[in-house]
Structure formats: C-alpha cells, structure tokens
C-alpha cells in the first residue's frame, strides 16, 4: 500500500494525571506534548471534577501546538483519535476521558477527518510495543502487563483492540501502594520517582513484605493483593524501620508479585512473549526483579519493556492506533 507522505494522525489522551497530545506519520513520532495535572502537596490523587477542569484548561494549547508542528512539517491531519475509556470493557468509564474525546470529536469535525475512539489501556500497549523491540506491527499473540497508578492487570493480547483479562489486583493497584507509602514518607504525589530514588539507598532484604498470587475470589482470575503488604509497610514504619529500607521493600514486593502473576499468565496461555507497560512498569527495581524471576522460571520467555518515557501516560499509542486503523488499514 502506498502511503501519502503528507498525512499524519492526531492522538489525544486525558488520563487521571496527564493531558497528552501526539502526532505520528509514516516516519514515526512527529510531536509528543504532555502537561502533568497539578496535585496539592500532601494529597493522594485528584477528584475527577478537578482533573476534568485541568484537562479542559490544558488541551487547547497542546492541540494548537501540535497543529502548528504539522503545518511546519507540511503535514495534514488525516485522522483523529482519542482514548474514551480506561479499558475496552462494558461499564469501563471515567469522566476524565470525556475531555479528550470531546476535543477529539471537535477537531475531527473541524478538519473534516475521520475520528476513532480507543481505550487508554490500548494506547498504553501500543506505545509500549512501538517503543520496545516487540514493535507496533505485532497485532497479537503476547501477554501484556499494564502496571500503573490506576491499573494492575495482566492481559492476553489477541489483536490491537482485542484483549482478554487474565488477572490483576483485587484491591490496591501497584501505583496506589507506592503512593500511600510514599506520601506517608513525605514524598510528593505521584510518589513513584521519589520512591525509586529513596529505595536506591535501601538494604536488600531489610524489609520483606508478603507476596501472594491466587485464584481471585472477586475477579475469578489470577489475583494479587497489595492491601495487606501496604498495611505491613506502614507497620514497619511505625516500628522505626529506615524509610530507605521500607521504600525498597515496597518496590521488591511489587516486583515479586507481578513477576509471579506474569509467570502464571504465561503458563496459562502457553505464550512466551511478555510486554510491560504503564508508569509503574518504568521503575528500574521492579523491571530488574521481573527480568530475573520471569526469565529464571520460564527460560523461553521473552520480556519487552516500553521505553521509560513511553511507559508513563501519553497519547503516542492513541496516535499510532489511529494511524494504523484509519490511514494504513
């Protein structure tokens, strides 16, 4: 198929903590604009209404900048896409995504171009695959771990927009676990980067938190729990354990838990390729534990990690899916 060199796709993503706009064309990434949402010091998250307000405030400048870049490059937007739901499942809904989908529809109508909607999770997987050796062209046949502040899920990816839930958390997500302990330690929200820096000074094994993977009672699939380990981490702090050791213990617990979950998922599906995406998956300590324990248990397994800048919330995956589904296909 011959692609027109003057076309590009525009992607929008308005997640819980980042306003994102991206452009891609046949040569790759053209523009990647992101504005983090503001969270008050000491707070653990944002109300959805506050996040929607900030997205409405942030989006126009990012969209205008993206369109200026397209014009400077001699590109015309051939399709617009937005993440409209957290995941492609019945009942999946968050008000924050109405901001991105609303702006997406308006821009599409103004430019008289096609408009598509994908899920935030699909965008994460697409960006992760594109930025890793797995590649965006791989349509399916692998297991994906989505590890972030709002999601801890293991998925069998059958196609670009066809995924099957294999398992996940029954209570706290990995990012919530990190944030609750991090805020207790005085680390600004979101606490992931600060926890990783603090954990670098920890002594391995000084704080060991429980790890459990079982058949979930609530989700009926493979399940891990971070509520108990979070309470255990708070007790370690109450007992006077060093913050560095507790921070490392939290990240080691998450790493061992998701590694065990991934091993069970790979065994259950018979697949051998694992792609990790989401902001928490960019943590170097968690990545190291996953590489060691998954590969050590299943020698045939191949692990792929998104580039750190494309693990965090972004619109690159949305733009890539829009490009493939409306300009290439």
pTM exceeds 0.85, yes or no: yes
Mean of pLDDT values over 249-267: 96
Greatest mean pLDDT among 19-23, 137-141, 166-170, 303-307: 19-23
Return the minimum-mean-pLDDT range out of 130-144, 183-197, 222-236.
130-144
Q: Which residue has the higher pLDDT, 51 or 89?
A: 51
How far apart are the C-alpha atoms of 290 and 267, rounded to whole Å?
Answer: 15
Residues making up the chain, counted from first to last: 329
Q: List the domains of the chain with CATH numbers.
A: 7-132+312-328 (3.30.420.40), 142-305 (3.30.420.40)
Q: Percent of the chain having pLDDT more than 70?
A: 94
Q: Which residue has the higher pLDDT, 33 or 160?
A: 33
Mean of pLDDT values over 238-248: 98
What is residue 301's predicted lDDT score, i.e. its pLDDT?
95
User: Over 50: is that where the pLDDT of 228 sits?
Assistant: yes
What is residue 38's predicted lDDT score, i.e. its pLDDT?
95
Residue 150: φ, ψ to 5°: -110, 0
Mean of pLDDT values over 207-220: 73
Q: Are residues 227 and 180 in contact, defined by beta-carbon separation less than 8 angstroms?
A: no
What is residue 219's predicted lDDT score, i.e. its pLDDT?
46
Return the minimum-mean-pLDDT range out of 21-25, 36-40, 55-59, 212-216.
212-216
Q: Are residues 187 and 199 in contact, defined by beta-carbon separation less than 8 angstroms?
A: no
Distances in whole angstroms, Cα of residue 268 to Cα of each of 104, 214, 263, 272: 38, 13, 9, 11
User: Over 80: is that where the pLDDT of 233 sits?
Assistant: yes
Residue-averaged pLDDT of the chain: 92
What is residue 62's predicted lDDT score, i.e. its pLDDT?
98
Q: Are residues 37 and 51 in contact, defined by beta-carbon separation less than 8 angstroms?
A: yes
Question: Where does the pLDDT of residue 128 fall: very low under 50, low under 70, confident under 90, or very high at 90 and above?
Answer: very high
* Residues in contact with 260: Cβ distance below 8 Å, sequence separation at least 6, in sequence order: 211, 213, 224, 293
Question: Where does the pLDDT of residue 136 fall: very low under 50, low under 70, confident under 90, or very high at 90 and above?
Answer: low
What is residue 1's predicted lDDT score, i.e. its pLDDT?
44
Indicate the helix (H) or strand (E) that contains 51. helix 48-72
Residue 20: φ, ψ to 5°: -135, 140
């Amino acid at each position: 198929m011959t692609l027109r060199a003057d076309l590009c796709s525009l992607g929008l993503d308005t997640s819980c903590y980042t306003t994102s706009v991206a452009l891609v064309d046949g040569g790759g990434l053209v523009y990647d604009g992101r504005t983090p949402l503001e969270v008050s010091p000491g707070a653990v998250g944002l109300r959805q209404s506050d996040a929607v307000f900030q997205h409405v405030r942030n989006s126009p400048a990012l969209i205008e900048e993206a369109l200026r870049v397209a014009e400077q490059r001699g590109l015309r937007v051939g399709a617009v896409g937005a993440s409209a739901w957290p995941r492609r499942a019945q009942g999946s809904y968050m008000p924050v995504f109405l901001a991105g989908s609303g702006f997406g529809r308006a821009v599409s109508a103004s430019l008289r171009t096609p408009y598509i909607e994908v899920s935030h999770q699909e965008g994460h997987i697409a960006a992760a695959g594109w930025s890793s050796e797995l590649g965006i062209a791989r349509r399916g046949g692998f297991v994906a771990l989505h590890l972030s502040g709002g999601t801890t899920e293991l998925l069998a990816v059958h196609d670009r927009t066809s995924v099957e839930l294999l398992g996940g958390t029954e209570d706290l997500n990995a990012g919530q676990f990190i944030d609750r302990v991090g805020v207790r330690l005085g680390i600004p929200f979101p606490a992931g980067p600060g926890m990783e820096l603090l954990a670098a000074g920890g002594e391995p094994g000084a704080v060991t938190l429980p790890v459990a993977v079982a058949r979930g009672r609530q989700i009926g699939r493979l399940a891990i729990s971070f509520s108990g380990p979070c309470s255990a981490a708070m007790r370690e702090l109450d007992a006077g354990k060093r913050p560095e050791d507790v921070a490392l213990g939290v990240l080691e617990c998450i790493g061992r838990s998701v590694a065990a979950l991934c091993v069970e998922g790979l065994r259950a599906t018979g697949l051998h390729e694992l792609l990790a995406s989401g902001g928490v998956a960019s943590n170097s300590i968690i990545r190291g534990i996953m590489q060691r324990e998954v590969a050590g248990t299943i020698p045939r397994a191949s692990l792929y990690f998104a580039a750190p800048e494309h693990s965090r919330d972004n619109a690159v995956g949305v733009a890539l899916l829009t490009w493939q589904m409306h300009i290439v296909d």
